[in-house]
Chains A and B, each alone.
Chain A
């Protein structure tokens, strides 16, 4: 009896420990990230970090301006959204509302395979195929531009957007769609006046999660955006090289002496990135929770 009880307790504690690992990992990660990031501001004023327009980490004196990198990330992400959101939602509508069961049965798994391709493969594809195409067709000095990054990130965000939007659209009760059709509306009127609005919060959550993925993506962007830390104009900056926050950390971390100002600056950027994706995920989860139907 007490032996069995002990065993039960043991298993319970083991499972509890496994559950707590993830939380602990997040907690430790936050501590190290923020501690090392904050150490930058002992020597370098936080106001300069936030408002300086130059990222010259190795010049003397060094400039650690966040803005070119933050704006670099934003312009690439904005481009990715413009490209992937309409396409992703349209594909989700097609799969859930218009495609026959056989077509949908092929399309859905295929879009999900897109999500499983490693980002370095996307980067390679972008570098070899897309970069020359962009350079030639737009007649630019280099094809490694924010736009190239946007297109690649857009493709990478598509599976998330399609799959979650599709779930949201399919979860709109059939009864509501029938109600609309019975009033004499066409299939398309039903889709865009009833089904889409009813699924809107789920679709927004899908978009936010797609954006979260795009902002945090590193390898692909690093390979196709040229990595030059200048403040991009809009929209002209789309056609010039940019450097994103993620690419900066990945490129420079290997070469900085540990504990140097530059080292802490990279951690500070990491903190900004972390906070950004954290907020986006919270928003996405918040909207997602609201969209469930109770009819």
Chain B
């Protein structure tokens, strides 16, 4: 563990265990995720990193056979306690998915969707849409065609639209689940730039398959293997002198 953080801690996970039916998918995960920084989660396929990410906004609630034990505090609130409203939690903890998933409606309506369901900005919805698209680095490309279908955008543009859509509800934390795995290198570069810009205002957790990407954009890196968090430290530390043999084998490409 890297110790205490300059910006403070946003997410505190203690002894998190998760089962899908009989399959024990996460074992005793404990991790403190710092505020206003980028935390990358790496590891081979099936290691549990995406499953862990989906614990942080309770998307695993959708899986019926899923059972969770342990504590997840976000901003000092236990998100699995009974009095937590999942709708409210997901407004605070946004998520961007692996494949861009814009709604089949106009660009404007995609962004306005979140604020509308939360009753935000009834009078100034256009302002919110513009601000979100600017923060999502998409405004310049779409400002003249907000009414056209979001499905007509390119893959990279769609993913930035999904990021802007998440920003529009003003979350504190944004979870990225391999956001660039379906994109070309140029689109990937744009998203990475955007993530570096966003960390000034948001806490970011990103799951990635791409170790160079983790090295480029993250401040802290956690390495998952078969449901265990093997190592978690500053990104330079993980990539330059990892404490565990398994971490070193993985980042030097000996497996995975």
Chain A residues engaging chain B, CB cutoff 8 angstroms: 173, 175-176, 178-186, 189, 193-194, 197-198, 293-295
Contacts and interface: CB of A to CB of B under 8 A. Distances in A.
Given A181-B59, A183-B113, A183-B169, A198 B104 contact: yes
B103 A185 contact: no
Interface string B92-106: 001101010111110
A208 B88 CA distance: 40
A180 B166 CA distance: 10
Interface of B: 57, 59, 62, 87-91, 94-95, 97, 99, 101-105, 113-114, 117-118, 151, 162, 165-166, 169
A201 to B, nearest CB: 10
25 contacts: A173-B101, A176-B103, A179-B102, A181-B59, A181-B90, A182-B59, A183-B90, A183-B91, A183-B113, A183-B165, A183-B169, A184-B87, A184-B89, A184-B90, A184-B114, A184-B117, A185-B87, A185-B114, A185-B117, A189-B117, A194-B103, A197-B104, A197-B105, A198-B104, A294-B151
B64 to A, nearest CB: 8
Contacts of A173: 101
Nearest to B168: A183
Contacts of A184: 87-91, 114, 117-118, 169
A179 B118 contact: no
B14 to A, nearest CB: 24
B113 A193 contact: yes
Contacts of B102: 179
A183 B101 contact: no
A175 B62 CA distance: 13
B235 to A, nearest CB: 26
A178 B114 contact: no
B62 A193 contact: no
A189 B114 CA distance: 11
Contacts of A198: 103-104
Given A175-B99, A198-B104, A182 B57 contact: yes
Nearest to A172: B104
Given A189-B117, A193-B117, A182 B103 contact: no
B94 A182 contact: yes
A121 to B, nearest CB: 39
A176 B87 contact: no
A179 B102 CA distance: 8
A135 B30 CA distance: 71
B85 to A, nearest CB: 9
Given A183-B90, A194-B103, 5 more contacts: A180-B103, A182-B90, A184-B88, A184-B117, A186-B87
Contacts of A179: 97, 101-103, 162, 165
A180 B97 contact: no
A294 B57 CA distance: 28
Contacts of A178: 59, 62, 97, 101
Contacts of B101: 173, 175-176, 178-179, 295
B50 to A, nearest CB: 12
A293 B99 CA distance: 14
B166 A183 contact: yes
B62 A181 contact: yes
Nearest to B85: A184
Contacts of B104: 176, 197-198, 293
A185 B59 CA distance: 12
A31 B120 CA distance: 63
* Residue from A186, A197, A295 whose CB has the most chain B CB atoms within 10 Å: A295
A117 B19 CA distance: 46
Contact of A183 (B99, B105, B117): B117
Nearest to A291: B104
Contacts of A185: 87, 113-114, 117
A198 B89 CA distance: 26
Contacts of B95: 182
A186 B104 CA distance: 18
A295 B99 CA distance: 9
Contacts of B90: 181-184
Nearest to B175: A182
A231 to B, nearest CB: 44
